[in-house]
Amino acid sequence: MIVLVLIVMSALLLLSQDLAHKMKLRPELKRKVFHISAAIFIAAWPWLISWRSIEILGLLMLAIIMANKLLHVFNFTKDLGRVTHGDIFLAMAVTICAYLSHNKLFFALALLNVALADGLAALAGQRYGRHYKYKVLHQPKTVIGTMTFWMASVCIFAVGLLLGHNQVSFSSYVYLVAGLPPLLALIENVSPQGLDNLSVPVAVVVTLNLLH
């Protein structure tokens, strides 16, 4: 099964590269296509492989990404016009989240916030947020992007926690759906150079562990 996971990850990378080339996607959109698809797949890993395997794969991803930064086989950050280490932080998040919690749902919710909330926020901000911009720690942000993150996170917790209704109480469910998304939006805002790919999922796992 681990081999199959590696094959799928490689296929996602190659397909996103091919799609970006054929459709002449902008650098940010090209990077987000792989970011979203890969993180969604990673969210399903606890149902496919063991926790130790996830931790090891996260470290393997980190080693491959670091090697790629030297060899430049795949360059998703080229022409972005800004420095980002999101791919490194995402690989770190996989291992750390798997180590912190062996709850399949919690891990999935953490990675889905990276895949969907963060991914859709970046795309919405690029497409619609040009007139409502602000900066946090010298990093450009958009009101549309931040609100997209917030609303997407609300939907992820509202639906996801219903599937785990036996793991959190109703009061915790209300607190999480209402209170955690704005906190994550704040964390995303103050996390520079792609650090939100690590800080957001770790915050999700830690919070869910505390309220479990």
Q: How far is the C-alpha of 100 from the C-alpha of 72, rounded, in Å?
A: 32
Q: What is the pLDDT at residue 202?
A: 97
Q: pTM of whole model > 0.85?
A: yes
Q: Residue 109: what are its φ and ψ, rounded to 5°?
A: -65, -40
- Domain ranges for the chain, please list them: 2-211
Q: How far is the C-alpha of 152 from the C-alpha of 137, rounded, in Å?
A: 24
Q: What is the pLDDT at residue 80?
A: 46
Average pLDDT over residues 200-205: 97
pLDDT in tens, 105-145: 999 999 999 999 998 998 888 888 778 888 888 888 999 99
Average pLDDT over residues 58-67: 90
Q: Do 114 and 39 meet the contact criterion of CB atoms below 8 Å apart?
A: yes
> For residue 69, how many C-alpha atoms fall within 13 Å in the half-sphere facing its CB?
12
For the chain, the first-to-last Cα distance in angstroms comes to 30
pLDDT in tens, 29-54: 777 777 888 899 999 999 999 999 99
